[in-house]
Chains A and B, each alone.
Chain A
Amino acid sequence: MSDKKPIIPPNGEGISNGTRRDFIKQTTVLTAVAMAPGTVVKAASDHIDEQIAAVFEKMPLKMEVNGKLQNLSVEPRSTLLDILREQLDLTGTKKGCDHGQCGACTVHVDGHRVNSCLTLGVMVNGKKITTIEGLAKGDELHPMQEAFLKHDGFQCGYCTPGQIMSAVACIREGHANSEGEIREYMSGNICRCGAYPNIVNAIQEVKAGGQTV
């Protein structure tokens, strides 16, 4: 198939389609194909030709976001964070580090808090996503949002959506029983403004209030 040496990765055999992939990459075809509307990838298929084609294609993604069903078409490499912000215009969820190190991108997937920056969109197909936009009921703020306002749980506000999503999960998980426990279970959310004491107060108040969050 090729007269060029295959690429040798550290742990094994070469990638047999290296030459063709390289060729395609080097041409401007790449952009043209990527911008054309993609057809559905036949996921189970394993043929090299299909693999090369599939590199340019988008995949269907069905998910419920804040109670609304979304039928999307996404690249496999798109993260849930980018899909929420760029395809669905839900810009409440923030991108801080994009590497799992700050928690600004925290959302709930099927009720569990995760870092949306490290979540591939295609991997949450069929799941229910809740973002900061999905917490309030109409004009009525979620108790945690109220508490953050009351206790000044923020300064610049950049980390706040992630903090609030995490705080809600922290109570639901049963990890808000003491200041120490809250601090430990909120450690995945960094606040550069250092609003931590007020954030802890807000969570303690909601916890003490005993409402379902």
Chain B
Amino acid sequence: MKQFQYIRPASQAAVLDAIAKSGSKIIAGGTNLVDLMKKGVMSPDKLVDINSLPLNTINTSPKGLHIGALVLNSVLSENSLVLDKHPLLSMALKAGASPQLRNMATVGGNMMQRTRCAYFYDTTMPCNKRTPGTGCGAMGGYNRMHAIFGSSPQCIAVHPSDMCVALAALGATVTIAGKKGERHIPFTEFHRLPGEHPEMDNHLATGEMILGVDIPDNNFAKNSYYLKVRDRQSYAFALVSVAAALDLRGGVIKEARLAMGGVAHKPWRLFDAEKFLAGKAPTEENFNKAAQLAMQSAKAYEYNAFKLKLAPATIAEALKHAGGLA
């Protein structure tokens, strides 16, 4: 690992000062950054440890449930407010990584984690995300884990998070701080598609940091489900995952939320399928139709064509669980 300077500022202002320089990186749990630094994929000059900041609270607010950026994934997954109001989030968190890693991983770090694309990790391989202009190794390579939605000729990597899939489905908002003050953006607009600039995973600018997320209150708690399909039953990244949430009233779906992981450069909301389900009965037939609708813009590469079958099957299955049919 390259040598670096380490600081642990006591205030948000001092953190923002320190990260204004592009060679500086925030470190929270370290589970992604230290891994990437060992591989030489990332090599900051300075690590800015934010663990002295008071960003580890979970509390109800006028905006719903507020979750600080330093809340641990393990703590969040077992929090009584989360279990009560947003069990979908708890399920997604528990499906991610391992208990040890969740004891270190933070909400902010989880959102900012980089792709697990093997070409991104291997510094001897071409990768536009790691080294812009070198090409995409996965495009004509071994792309079994890669995107089927929203990719570009420059990059077909996927965002690996489970937590983010649930937060996208639940319509959370992200609070960001920079030197000019705070701003709020919808969770679904935090991560971006690769386009011409796969080196940018999201819309956080240099010098900005995540303070936390807010989840608005909803009626999904009774009918939500996170289904993750992977190569082994636990401790593996998603091939495909689905967060499904239904607001069921009097046998009718008032509102549906669907998001997928493992299929795109960002948590992938299935807006067409959601629209289709609104006002319909929660039947297997409708769930299957919604799953087919969701696949309209899907495109596979050499080794990930199986996702074209796996994805709709997973959507339908997650909906059946959420709707009480399974």
Given contacts A76-B4, A77-B1, A188-B98, contact A15 B38 (CB under 8 A): no
A77 / chain B contacts, CB cutoff of 8 Å: 1-4, 37
| Chain B 126-162 near chain A by CB (<8 Å), digits 1 or 0 | 0000011000000000000000000000000000000
Q: Please tell me if B46 contacts chain A, counting CB pairs below 8 Å.
A: yes
Q: Please tell me if B6 contacts chain A, counting CB pairs below 8 Å.
A: yes
Partner among B17, B39, B99, B199 whose Cβ is within 8 Å of the Cβ of A10: B199
- Pick out which of these stretches binds chain A: B22-30, B274-282, B301-309: B22-30
Contacting pair B22 A14 (CB below 8 A): yes
Q: Please tell me if B271 contacts chain A, counting CB pairs below 8 Å.
A: no
Contacting pair A119 B104 (CB below 8 A): yes
Partner among A118, A120, A189 whose Cβ is within 8 Å of the Cβ of B6: A120
Contacting pair A123 B51 (CB below 8 A): yes
* CB closest chain-A residue, reference B42: A9
With A and B bound together, what is the CA distance between A4 and B114 in angstroms?
31
Q: Please tell me if A173 contacts chain B, counting CB pairs below 8 Å.
A: yes
Given contacts A44-B14, A100-B35, contact A114 B4 (CB under 8 A): no
Given contacts A118-B104, A120-B6, contact A15 B23 (CB under 8 A): yes
* CB closest chain-A residue, reference B47: A76
With A and B bound together, what is the CA distance between A53 and B235 in angstroms?
41
Q: What bracket does the count of chain B residues touching chain A fall in?
A: 35 or more
Contacting pair A166 B99 (CB below 8 A): yes
Q: Please tell me if A205 contacts chain B, counting CB pairs below 8 Å.
A: no
Contacting pair B99 A11 (CB below 8 A): no
Q: Please tell me if B103 contacts chain A, counting CB pairs below 8 Å.
A: yes
CB distance from A50 to the nearest CB of B (A): 8
Q: Please tell me if B18 contacts chain A, counting CB pairs below 8 Å.
A: yes
CB distance from B176 to the nearest CB of A (A): 15
With A and B bound together, what is the CA distance between A205 and B319 in angstroms?
38
The total of interchain contacts (Cβ-Cβ below 8 angstroms) comes to 124
Q: Please tell me if A184 contacts chain B, counting CB pairs below 8 Å.
A: yes
With A and B bound together, what is the CA distance between A103 and B74 in angstroms?
16
Contacting pair A115 B99 (CB below 8 A): no
Within 8 A of B (CB), among A73-89: 75-77, 79
Given contacts A9-B23, A12-B22, contact A100 B235 (CB under 8 A): no
Decide if the interface of chain A is mainly helix, strand, loop or mixed: loop
Contacting pair B99 A113 (CB below 8 A): yes
Within 8 A of A (CB), among B199-222: 199-200, 206
Q: Please tell me if A151 contacts chain B, counting CB pairs below 8 Å.
A: no
Q: Please tell me if A139 contacts chain B, counting CB pairs below 8 Å.
A: no
Q: Please tell me if A56 contacts chain B, counting CB pairs below 8 Å.
A: yes
Q: Please tell me if A51 contacts chain B, counting CB pairs below 8 Å.
A: yes
Contacting pair A43 B8 (CB below 8 A): yes
Contacting pair A51 B45 (CB below 8 A): yes
Q: Which among B5, B7, B39, B199 has the greatest number of chain A C-beta atoms within 10 A? A: B5
Partner among A44, A76, A187 whose Cβ is within 8 Å of the Cβ of B98: A187
Partner among A11, A51, A115 whose Cβ is within 8 Å of the Cβ of B206: A11
* CB closest chain-B residue, reference A165: B100
B206 / chain A contacts, CB cutoff of 8 Å: 11-13
Contacting pair B100 A115 (CB below 8 A): yes
Q: Please tell me if A175 contacts chain B, counting CB pairs below 8 Å.
A: yes
* CB closest chain-B residue, reference A55: B3
Contacting pair B49 A123 (CB below 8 A): yes
| Chain B 224-250 near chain A by CB (<8 Å), digits 1 or 0 | 000000000111000000000000000
Q: Please tell me if B34 contacts chain A, counting CB pairs below 8 Å.
A: yes
Q: Please tell me if B101 contacts chain A, counting CB pairs below 8 Å.
A: yes
Partner among A14, A76, A187 whose Cβ is within 8 Å of the Cβ of B234: A187
Partner among B7, B27, B101, B132 whose Cβ is within 8 Å of the Cβ of A115: B101
With A and B bound together, what is the CA distance between A185 and B206 in angstroms?
37
Contacting pair A184 B22 (CB below 8 A): no
* CB closest chain-B residue, reference A116: B100
With A and B bound together, what is the CA distance between A183 and B37 in angstroms?
31
| Chain A 6-21 near chain B by CB (<8 Å), digits 1 or 0 | 0001111111110001
With A and B bound together, what is the CA distance between A33 and B196 in angstroms?
43
Contacting pair A13 B22 (CB below 8 A): yes
With A and B bound together, what is the CA distance between A61 and B22 in angstroms?
27
With A and B bound together, what is the CA distance between A119 and B31 in angstroms?
8
Within 8 A of B (CB), among A149-197: 166, 169-170, 173, 175, 183-185, 187-190
CB distance from A107 to the nearest CB of B (A): 9
| Extra A-B contacts (10), CB below 8 Å, given A113-B99, A115-B101 | A11-B206, A13-B21, A44-B14, A76-B3, A76-B47, A77-B2, A100-B31, A166-B100, A183-B234, A187-B235
**Can you list 15 A-B pairs, Cβ within 8 angstroms, ordered by A?**
A12-B206, A43-B8, A55-B3, A55-B4, A113-B100, A114-B104, A115-B98, A115-B100, A118-B30, A118-B31, A120-B27, A123-B49, A184-B233, A188-B98, A188-B99
* A-binding residues in B (CB < 8 A): 1-9, 14, 17-18, 21-23, 27, 30-31, 34-35, 37-39, 45-47, 49, 51, 74, 97-101, 103-104, 131-132, 199-200, 206, 233-235
